[in-house]
Amino acid sequence: MGKKQKLTLFDVINYIVFILLALIIIIPIWKVVVDSFNAVGVYKFQLWPSDPTFAGYLTIMSTAKLARPFINSVVTTIIGTLIGLIMATLGGYVLCQYEMPGRNLFSYFLLFTMIFSGGMIPEYLVMKQLGLVDNMWILVVKHGMNVYNLVLMKNFFEGIPGSLYEAAELDGCSPMKTFTSVVLPLSKAALASIGLMFAVTIWNDYSTVQIYITNPTQVNFQYQLRVMIMDGDTPTTAYKVSQNTLYYASIVCAILPFMVAYPFLQKYFVTGVNAGAVKE
């Protein structure tokens, strides 16, 4: 494959098909972005807004009903990712200790949760007991402990050469010290990719909010967006902004963080999936 090959008919068709495919993905996203700057709603696909305005974005920033959920989203995503990473690294590292008495029991204890769950209603009742209903921190609690990511983390740790552990032990490092000064620094890539998985999940979570939260001050941005567009619950604002502009501007805000970060971090996103699927 590495050699220069002649461009055959096959290649030409292949290129055309893939360019079309890319367009199918890009056009809807591009239309959303353009329409978010368009003062009047148009059905046509435009390359550039015909009547440019920032009113949509200004409305989001100045309307508490939209700005507050956005901040909630940011805060829960950051805290949730941190807690998720802490849990995954702690658990993953313990699972690597095959000689530890009770290690297998601990492993089954975790894996059983992947097979059986109490279901929506019992979970709801427990969260209610914990005071997490109508509370945005439900997002952190619900996603902070993810067994799947924990196992991924363990797999990453196992990829660290055993000789490094031995060296640390010879240096007189305690297991904790080995963990913080040897293992974690070597797992930056793993932390980045699993952290991204947490962040994507929490930021994009809509159904948890739909189920657990009714208090408008506690909802996240995905939920607010959904309520606004699907239930037509547009907040009253001082800005003169067309509904369409506001809708599309909100969509852009909802996808912006990862759309911006993604091209730079693609490597980490992809590693996470491969580690999960290929080696488990």
By CB under 8 A, is residue 137 in contact with other proteins? no
By CB under 8 A, is residue 31 in contact with other proteins? yes
Min dist CB 158 to other proteins, Å, is 9
Per CB under 8 A, contacts with other proteins among 167-186 are: 174-176, 179
By CB under 8 A, is residue 268 in contact with other proteins? no
Given the complex with other proteins, which of 54 and 206 has the nearer CB atom? Answer: 206
Considering only residues 85, 168, 246, 254, which one is a binding residue for other proteins as defined by CB under 8 A?
254
Min dist CB 278 to other proteins, Å, is 6
DSSP of 120-138 = HHHHHHHHHHTT-TT-TTH
By CB under 8 A, is residue 21 in contact with other proteins? yes
From 133, 183, 139, select the one nearest 162 (Cα to Cα): 183
Min dist CB 194 to other proteins, Å, is 15
Q: What are 16's two structure tokens?
A: 């055309």
Considering only residues 71, 130, 167, 189, which one is a binding residue for other proteins as defined by CB under 8 A?
130
Whole-angstrom distance between the N-terminal and C-terminal Cα of the chain? Answer: 30
Min dist CB 74 to other proteins, Å, is 15
State CA 274 to chain mean position distance: 17
- Binding segment for other proteins (CB under 8 A), chosen from 51-59, 136-144, 163-171, 181-189, is 136-144
By CB under 8 A, is residue 99 in contact with other proteins? yes
Residue 196 C-beta-side C-alpha neighbours within 13 Å = 21
- Burial of 162 from C-beta contacts in 10 A (0-12 / 13-18 / 19+): exposed
Strand blocks (E) in the chain: none
By CB under 8 A, is residue 264 in contact with other proteins? no
Give me the residues paired with residue 17 across strands: none
By CB under 8 A, is residue 160 in contact with other proteins? no
By CB under 8 A, is residue 251 in contact with other proteins? yes
Report the residue count for the chain.
280
Given the complex with other proteins, which of 105 and 185 has the nearer CB atom? Answer: 105
Give ∠ CA 170-175-181 in degrees, rounded to 5.
Answer: 80
By CB under 8 A, is residue 46 in contact with other proteins? no
Largest Cα–Cα distance of the chain, in whole Å?
Answer: 70
By CB under 8 A, is residue 20 in contact with other proteins? no
From 252, 221, 229, select the one nearest 34 (Cα to Cα): 252
Per CB under 8 A, contacts with other proteins among 107-126 are: 107-126
By CB under 8 A, is residue 62 in contact with other proteins? no
From 217, 211, 158, 215, select the one nearest 186 (Cα to Cα): 158
Given the complex with other proteins, which of 25 and 47 has the nearer CB atom? Answer: 25
Q: What are 36's two structure tokens?
A: 């978010």
Q: What are 260's two structure tokens?
A: 């911006």
By CB under 8 A, is residue 48 in contact with other proteins? no
Query: If binding means CB under 8 A, how many residues of this protein chain bind other proteins?
Result: 128
Min dist CB 25 to other proteins, Å, is 5
Give me the residues paired with residue 38 across strands: 52
